[in-house]
Amino acid sequence: MGNREDLLAGAKRCLYEKGYARTTARDIAAASGVVSLAAIGYHYGSKEALLNEALKQALEEWAHELGRVLAAEADPGATPEERFEAAWGAVTRSFAANRPLWAIQFELIAHLDKLPELRHTFTEAGREGRLGLLELFGRIGGSGDDKKDERVGALYQALLAGVASQWLLDPGSAPTGRDLIEGLRSITTALTPPPGSDGGPQGAAV
């Protein structure tokens, strides 16, 4: 690999081992085998820009690997409910395999006000990730309407962040796919007006 790729690989290694805030330019240079610290500025502009790119790539790799696992485990005859439950099982297993990646993201949320470039990275990744998550989950809840699909993707995104935070705190108490199904079912039942009712909140499919 060239210096640029070496630096990116070293930065990802540092993110996993030391986190974002504790990683120095010297750490990245040492992890990448690149002698000159000036190479970071030459190729990426700054240490922060390099770490942001490393985090973005790490998240893309996580999504790609999860998609590969879901495709390999997919049962063509499964119902949407069975596919939803199986997908969340794969997501939970991915937390165990990529714990540092999730810990880093929660670490960074507290510092976004001081890191405008990182906020931009998170914001762009979040927008792109919504429809990506909908695809990962087999478009369960999707309608083909971009605006509605983005809302469903945002729900998946919220569920993903929430389950990840619970898993980081206490893996044994994090909800399973079955737990999420039953919880969503209870909510939609409560939000759906009885037949013939003209009042009350209108239910929305999830």
Tens of pLDDT, residues 46-96? 998 999 899 889 988 988 898 898 888 889 899 999 999 999 999 999 999
Rounded Cα–Cα distance for residues 72 and 167 (Å): 24
Q: How many CA atoms lie within 13 A of 6 on its CB side?
A: 15
Tens of pLDDT, residues 131-184? 888 988 889 999 999 889 999 999 999 999 999 999 999 999 999 999 999 999
Rounded Cα–Cα distance for residues 24 and 19 (Å): 10
Tens of pLDDT, residues 88-143? 999 999 999 889 989 988 888 877 787 777 787 777 777 778 888 898 888 999 99
CATH class of 52-191: mainly alpha
Q: What are the sequence ranges of the domains in the chain?
A: 52-191
